Amino acid sequence: MNPRSVSLLLQPATRLCPHLKSLRSVTFPVFRQTLPTCSPFPRRAFSTTTVAMAAKEWKIKDLSSLDLKPGEKKEIELEGLDAKVLLLNDGTKVQAIGPRCTHYGAPLVKGVLSTNGRLTCPWHGACFNAKTGDVEDAPALDALPTFKVTERDGAFYLTGDEETIKAGRRKPPFKTAVKTGPAVEKVVVVGGGSGACGVVEGLRGGGFDGSLTMITNEGYLPIDRTKLSKSLMTDLSKLQWRDMDFYKSGKVDVVEDEVTDVDFQNKTVSTKKGERYPYTKLVLATGGTPKNLPLPGFQVLENIFLLRSVHDAKRIVDAIGEKKGKKIVVIGSSFIGLEVGGATASDNDVTVVGMEKTPLERVLGEEVGSIIQKGMEGKGLKFYMNAGVEKAEPSTTDPKKVGAVVLKDGTRLEADLVILGVGVSPATGYLQKNNIIKLADDGSVVVDDVFAVTGIKDVYAIGDIATYPYNGPGGDGRYTRIEHWNVAQNAGRAVASRIINPSRKPDFFTPVFWSALHSQLRYCGNTTHGYDEVVIQGNPSEDKWAAFYCKGETVVAVATMGMDPVMSQSAQLMRVGKMPSKTELKPGVLTNGLDVLSLGPPE
Ligand SMILES: Cc1cc2nc3c(=O)[nH]c(=O)nc-3n(C[C@H](O)[C@H](O)[C@H](O)COP(=O)(O)OP(=O)(O)OC[C@H]3O[C@@H](n4cnc5c(N)ncnc54)[C@H](O)[C@@H]3O)c2cc1C
Ligand code: FES
């Protein structure tokens, strides 16, 4: 982190708000320009206090019967209220539920409802329990409200209060009275990202009443990291999932500090500020560190950026400046590179340099890669593929800064700034010299199928740092590290439920990923252990296609554009082991191949 730019950005929160003096372990700095005057942290629409409103009956418009089969759903409107709700059969009864996903608001009527009441969002795979509205899988954090529906004299009524119906979401249970005493469980979570969110919300949501501490060095509360590359957003009020009041309401001690070591024998965590935190259960969720290039110029020249945090995004935004029109070279043609290229291309001259034949070739294959390249060229990106980078050269006008990127074939790409998207390493530096834990060769932490660290009692590792036995299609329990937002958070929820109930084995969740390219890409499954054929359905030229990555007859991953909810349906089919085979899906001379949506509810 560049200390100069950070000191401009950050201001100790205690100087800004007298209320902070009442917070115990909170010593976060906060972004000055986004702070409301009397709140220690920017607020989202979320509030920890709800006014109980009286529930009343609302007549449902244009409904002739409640005759929905398990797995069926329809959107309905109410008389006298400008709000929709989703009517569904949750497997045991017909009731109504909030109609939009609490992640980014996808219409759940277009999602996938299983016959036993699991409602999956069509966009990024969030799952809700249709009976209770509770979140079952990431990335949604808020739950859905549920409403009773009744029939009287041939008309249908929904019972609920106006505010809740209109909000269409509800906070998960989080408030708790924490027990005290020597026998009380002390959970320490290291990290303040997606995985940490999953553990913290899973623990309190599941009724955990022990002590809970989250230690993070990021400089703010957990954010939606996935937005950084898609829009270079730097406004914490739009990025943070929860405000400090939320964590306070659940008695979560949020500590701004960096963990420097763990004493696994005496069960304590040490930090840079010289503190020690005892634990009975420890969850490591420290994510990834973006890689730099070990090539001349890259370690020393200014205006060469990595992208992981809001601090990084802010530096990039500052370097682009208000006038824009900059020459930007993005090195790396995978998701981060393409997204950040796409986010800057309309006002700047952006070139993407990649080592493969087509962008995203390693993950999605050459055919899909070339579809995406064409689409991104339409957004104004220029590509140098099959290219190796030789060095970064200084600018002639300001030799401290980068002026060009030179490729191995001698091509010189002028650059006002360079953004690297060349992969991440597990952020486990604090464990490297530890003599109890043995890191894998890539620096990751090896865990078992409940995310418990192999050979160390009461310690879990999740998210980008964790290598876990993957039991999805094609995985066969082989050790795999998956850098997806949902994987980290779902693993966090799994660990939380295991801490609450040690005999509980976590359910399998299909890895889900998404990316904002020239159109929205959805992805589920995993190809780490290879695929040998890609079956494509649909029409790539219209950005309506689904690609099925197959190993033999097994579909190991699915990528889609413009085909919702094919990815969500496939993720659910994979979860219950009912994904069709390659032969069934393959379009023939006279057929289009089996449409996975025609299979109906997955279970
Ligand atoms: C720009 C960007 C865009 C992305 N877009 C997508 C997307 O669209 N979809 C998707 O599925 N995935 C996306 N990802 C990947 C996804 O964000 C990660 O897989 C996910 O955040 C991993 O969660 P995590 O909890 O393991 O790590 P993180 O979310 O990175 O959290 C790690 C936390 O640990 C803290 N930390 C690290 N070391 C220490 C220490 N020693 N002491 C204390 N705290 C520490 C960090 O500051 C951070 O708060 C994106 C990633 C990036 C960088
Ligand atoms: S909008 Fe539902 S998972 Fe993102």
Place of tokens 């304590």: 268
pLDDT at 30 over 90: no
To test the ligand 1 pocket, which listed residue (483, 490, 567) has its Cβ within 8 A of the most ligand atoms? 483
- For 106-130, write each residue's pLDDT tens digit: 999 999 999 999 999 999 999 999 9
- For 200-230, write each residue's pLDDT tens digit: 999 999 999 999 999 999 999 999 999 999 9
Is 70 a member of any domain? Answer: yes
Report the percentage of the chain scoring pLDDT > 90: 88
Which residue's alpha carbon is nearest to atom 3 within ligand 2? 124
Q: Are 445 and 262 a contacting pair, CB within 8 Å?
A: no
**Nearest ligand, CA of residue 254?**
1
Atom of ligand 2 nearest to the CA of 108: 2
Which residue's alpha carbon is nearest to atom 6 within ligand 1? 226
Identify the CA nearest to 560 among candidates 549, 552, 574: 549
Is 179 a member of any domain? Answer: no
Across the range 401-416, mean pLDDT stands at 98
pLDDT at 19 over 80: no
Is 394 a member of any domain? Answer: yes
Residue 201 shares a structural domain with residue 276: yes
Point out the least confidently predicted range of 44-53, 201-210, 245-254: 44-53
Point out the domain boundary residue: 500, 521, 548: 500
DSSP 131-146: TT--EEETT--SB--E
Domain CATH for 100: 2.102.10.10
Report the percentage of the chain scoring pLDDT > 70: 91
Residue 31 shares a structural domain with residue 65: yes
Residue 479 shares a structural domain with residue 364: no
* Beta bridge pairs of residue 150: 157
Residue 223 shares a structural domain with residue 309: no
**Nearest ligand, CA of residue 218?**
1
pLDDT of residue 50: 39
Q: Are 270 and 276 a contacting pair, CB within 8 Å?
A: yes
Q: What is the Å distance from ligand 2's center to 123 Cα? A: 5
Identify the CA nearest to 209 among candidates 179, 180, 251, 171: 179
pLDDT of residue 93: 96
SS3 584: helix
Domain CATH for 524: 3.30.390.30
Q: What is the Å distance from ligand 2's center to 34 Cα? A: 26
pTM of the predicted structure, to 2 decimals? 0.92
Residue 226 shares a structural domain with residue 312: no
Q: What is the Å distance from ligand 2's center to 148 Cα? A: 25
Q: What is the Å distance from ligand 1's center to 288 Cα? A: 6
pLDDT bracket for residue 591 (50, 70, 90): confident
Is 549 a member of any domain? Answer: yes
Across the range 385-398, mean pLDDT stands at 98
SS3 198: helix
Q: For residue 208, how many C-alpha atoms fall within 13 Å in the half-sphere facing its CB?
A: 29
Residue 393 shares a structural domain with residue 372: yes
Whole-angstrom Cα distance, residue 105 to residue 520? 15
Judged on CB neighbours under 10 Å (0-12, 13-18, 19+), 543 is buried
SS3 582: helix
Q: What is the Å distance from ligand 1's center to 219 Cα? A: 13
Is 223 a member of any domain? Answer: yes
Q: What is the Å distance from ligand 2's center to 207 Cα? A: 25
Domains identified in the chain, total number:
4
Q: Which amino acid is at 371?
A: I
Residue 383 shares a structural domain with residue 359: yes
Q: What is the Å distance from ligand 2's center to 122 Cα? A: 7
Is 181 a member of any domain? Answer: no
pLDDT of residue 52: 52
**Maximum pairwise Cα distance, the chain:** 83
Identify the CA nearest to 393 among candidates 300, 269, 490: 300
Is 80 a member of any domain? Answer: yes
Q: Are 385 and 369 a contacting pair, CB within 8 Å?
A: no
Atom of ligand 2 nearest to the CA of 140: 3
Which residues lie with the beta carbon below 6 Å from any ligand 1 atom? 190-196, 215-218, 225-226, 228-229, 258-259, 285-288, 307-308, 336, 427, 430, 463-464, 483-486, 488, 513-515
pLDDT of residue 210: 97
Residue 257 shares a structural domain with residue 193: yes
pLDDT at 13 over 60: no
Point out the domain boundary residue: 370, 396, 422: 422
Q: What is the Å distance from ligand 1's center to 581 Cα? A: 34
pLDDT of residue 53: 67
Q: Count Cβ atoms below 10 Å from residue 398 Cβ, excluding itself.
A: 12
pLDDT at 8 over 50: no
Identify the CA nearest to 40 among candidates 25, 26, 61, 51: 26
Which residues lie with the beta carbon below 6 Å from any ligand 2 atom? 101, 103-104, 106, 121, 123-126, 139-140
**Nearest ligand, CA of residue 491?**
1
304's enclosing H/E stretch is strand 304-305
Q: What is the Å distance from ligand 2's center to 563 Cα? A: 15
Q: Which amino acid is at 31?
A: F
Indicate the Cα dihedral angle 320, 324, 327, 333, nearest 10°: 70
pLDDT at 49 over 90: no
pLDDT bracket for residue 20 (50, 70, 90): very low
pLDDT at 69 over 70: yes
Residue 415 shares a structural domain with residue 448: no
Residue 135 shares a structural domain with residue 20: yes
Residue 191 shares a structural domain with residue 213: yes
Judged on CB neighbours under 10 Å (0-12, 13-18, 19+), 223 is buried
Whole-angstrom Cα distance, residue 43 to residue 252? 17
pLDDT at 41 over 80: no
Across the range 350-362, mean pLDDT stands at 97
**Nearest ligand, CA of residue 215?**
1
Instruction: Give, in order, the Cα–Cα distances in Å from 265 to each of 67, 72, 262, 275, 458.
Output: 60, 53, 9, 17, 11
pLDDT bracket for residue 71 (50, 70, 90): very high
- For 463-521, write each residue's pLDDT tens digit: 999 999 999 999 999 999 999 999 999 999 999 999 999 999 889 999 999 999 999 99
Whole-angstrom Cα distance, residue 218 to residue 311? 9
| Phi and psi, residue 248, nearest 5° | -65, -40
pLDDT at 295 over 90: yes
- In degrees, to the nearest 5, what angle opens at C-alpha 174 toward C-alphas 120 and 463? 55
Point out the domain boundary residue: 500, 528, 548: 500
Identify the CA nearest to 372 among candidates 403, 341, 405: 341
Atom of ligand 1 nearest to the CA of 483: 19
Q: What is the Å distance from ligand 2's center to 474 Cα? A: 26
Is 47 a member of any domain? Answer: yes
E strand spans, 354-414: 382-384, 389-394, 402-407, 412-414
- For 251-267, write each residue's pLDDT tens digit: 999 999 999 999 999 99
Which residue's alpha carbon is nearest to atom 27 within ligand 1? 287
Domain CATH for 228: 3.50.50.60
Q: Which amino acid is at 16?
A: L
Mean pLDDT for all residues in the chain: 91
Domain that holds residue 574: 512-599
- For 139-160, write each residue's pLDDT tens digit: 999 999 999 999 999 999 999 9
Q: Are 85 and 147 a contacting pair, CB within 8 Å?
A: yes
pLDDT at 70 over 80: yes
Instruction: Give, in order, the Cα–Cα distances in Å from 183 to each of 158, 179, 264, 270.
Output: 46, 9, 19, 22
To test the ligand 2 pocket, which listed residue (108, 113, 123, 512) has its Cβ within 8 A of the most ligand atoms? 123
Residue 541 shares a structural domain with residue 456: no
